[in-house]
Structure 1
Amino acid sequence: MRELTMSLPLKLLLLASVLSASTSSWAAIALDRTRAIFPGNEKSISLTVTNENKQKPYLAQAWLEDKDGKKISSPFMVTPPVQRVEPGKKSMVRINALPDTASLPQDRESVYWFSVREVPPKSDRANVLQVALQTRIKLFYRPAAIMPERFTRWDDQLILHRVSGGFRIENPTPYYMTVISISGAAKKIDHDFKPVMIPPKSSATVKTISTSTPYVTTINDFGGKPTLEYRCSGDICKSILPASKA
């Protein structure tokens, strides 16, 4: 009988592949949304965390970071920072506004990151690899002065400017806009497109196809992915009626 041997790099590659393929099935702590909006006229918001493991309790550790990924304790505070979630149960994490929110811009959104990390119980078996998974979502602070009516959309206000190799996307709104695709057909997502988040009253240049009728797909407040058709006149493209509804 011959013994199969593997080099260390190959072993590490195989381990990475197994971890990548199995991560989703190991996830225990889950959030109830993919992004969060903090209205400027509220003192706090609550997010639901669920322990999807039916046999074991997990700890849920939560915190906030600024847009650059640095942990913060103001102008918002997360409570509780750590909690135990029983098997198959739900719990709440609260994000509270502190007085420093008054110093944030009141004519446009501010963006932060909310993270929750699951801490598994200690294994009763030896030599077991345990992975602590982390979920990270965007938290948008939306001042009271720019709070829209529910289900209002503003992706139709984007303006595309033709440039060499793609478009410069102008965002004249007071809201962050995330564009995940620009394609040449209503029901086609360009999976090679690199998603971009455009700050309020700003612009970003993207590489994409050259077309006179671009279809722009964004992410809305509810995690939906509405697509709008744009028409170009010269080097400027503006939206027309929605190609699909959120």
Structure 2
Amino acid sequence: MKKYCWALKVTLTLAILFLVFANKTYANVIITSTRIIYPASEKEVTIRLENSGQQASLIQAWTDKGNEALTPDQADGPFLITPPISRIDPNKGQSLRLIYTRDTTLNDQESIYWLNILDVPPKPMDSENYVQVAFKTRIKIFLRPKGLLGDPIQAAKNITWKLISSDKKIILRGTNTSNYHVSFNEISATTIEDKYKGSGGMIAPKSQKDFEITDKPRNYKKPTSVTYTWINDYGANETITTPLLD
């Protein structure tokens, strides 16, 4: 009996932790954009939140450099958010001001940070036995220094790809020579007849990254091109097919 109770407690704890960090699809409060573009020359950028639920929510906002385990009091992003804590009533919205607090002339490449929105629903009025679940949403903040050379559209179009391995796994190496991050929803190795689908990811400025194609079929044929779907500044998907380099 004690072992059963212990297992039940562990299961409930894991379930709660999963819900706390669940995808934003389950939260009442949503961010109206999928990414934030912050020109460093701007004094501030406005972020719009909407509460589509039937009850009020208390939200807390903070930024980080990429460690999603950080709590609000450990936030290490170079931004000030006002208000950092606010209540959003049902079917209402709230605007947050994101203010960059560092020198805008230090970098010659785009930098990436993360915005966190914690959505805490109120305590139920008609029950003393309940579990309160908070939902955290994270989206990317792309900080663009003033006078940054190039543009994000050409950055995505100019990604070059090379087949690194096709023995046990198909591995594609993408090279980004631009000053911008390029994000992908899907990357596929393609032949004239077939498409071997892979997952997405992101390549940082002036860098390379390897992507594994997991659905290699038995009747495998060596791919000759890559089809990739990249995400533009507005969160829309654009698809490009380009030959693989030798």
- The TM tier, using the shorter chain, reads 0.7 to 0.9
> How is 1:58-207 mapped onto 2 (pairs within 5 angstroms)?
58-69=57-68, 70=70, 71-72=74-75, 75-98=78-101, 100-102=102-104, 104-105=106-107, 107-124=108-125, 125-146=127-148, 152-164=153-165, 165-183=170-188, 184=190, 190=197, 193-207=198-212
User: Within 2, Cα distance between the matches of 1:93 and 1:222?
Assistant: 19
Q: Distance in 2 between matches of 1:30 and 1:127?
A: 27
- Structure 1 residues 195-234: aligned runs within 5 Å: 195-208=200-213, 210-233=222-245
CA spacing shift, 1:189–1:51, aligned 2, 3 Å = farther
Residue number in structure 2 paired with 1:41: 41
How many residues matched?
Answer: 220
The 3-state SS of whatever aligns with 2:104 is helix
1:42 positional shift: 0.5
Structure 1 position 195, deviation (Å): 2.5
CA distance in 1, matches of 2:66, 2:191: 33
Q: Is the 8 A contact 1:116 1:135 kept in 2?
A: yes
Read off the aligned partner of 1:65 and give its amino acid letter.
D
For the aligned residue pairs, the C-alpha RMSD in angstroms reads: 3.1
If the length of structure 2 is used for normalisation, what is the TM-score? Answer: 0.77
Aligned residues of 1:181 and 1:189 also touching (Cα < 8 A) = no
Cα offset for 1:153? 4.4
The normalised TM-score by structure 1 is 0.77
Letter in 2 for 1:214: V
Give deviations 1:6-28, integer Å, cap 9, x for gaps.
x5658938x949x87x9877521
Give % identity: 30
Specify the SS of the correspondent of 1:95. strand
Instruction: Could you tell me which runs of 5 or more consecutive residues in structure 2 were left unpaired when the two chains were aligned.
Output: 217-221
Give the distance between the partners of 1:10 and 1:23, measured in 2 at CA: 24
Gap change, CA 1:78 and 1:104, over 3 Å in 2 = farther
Aligned partner letter, 2:241: E
Residues 113-163 of structure 1, C-alpha deviation per residue, up to 9 Å, x if partnerless?
Answer: 0011111112221211221111110001011212767x8443111011221
**Code of the aligned partner of 1:201:** K
For 1:197 and 1:65, locate their aligned partners in 2 and report how far apart those are by CA, in whole Å: 18
Question: What is the CA–CA distance in structure 2 between the aligned matches of 1:25 and 1:162, rounded to whole Å?
Answer: 35
1:162-209, Cα deviation, whole Å (9 max, x unpaired): 21132211001101112332222799782xx24222110111112226
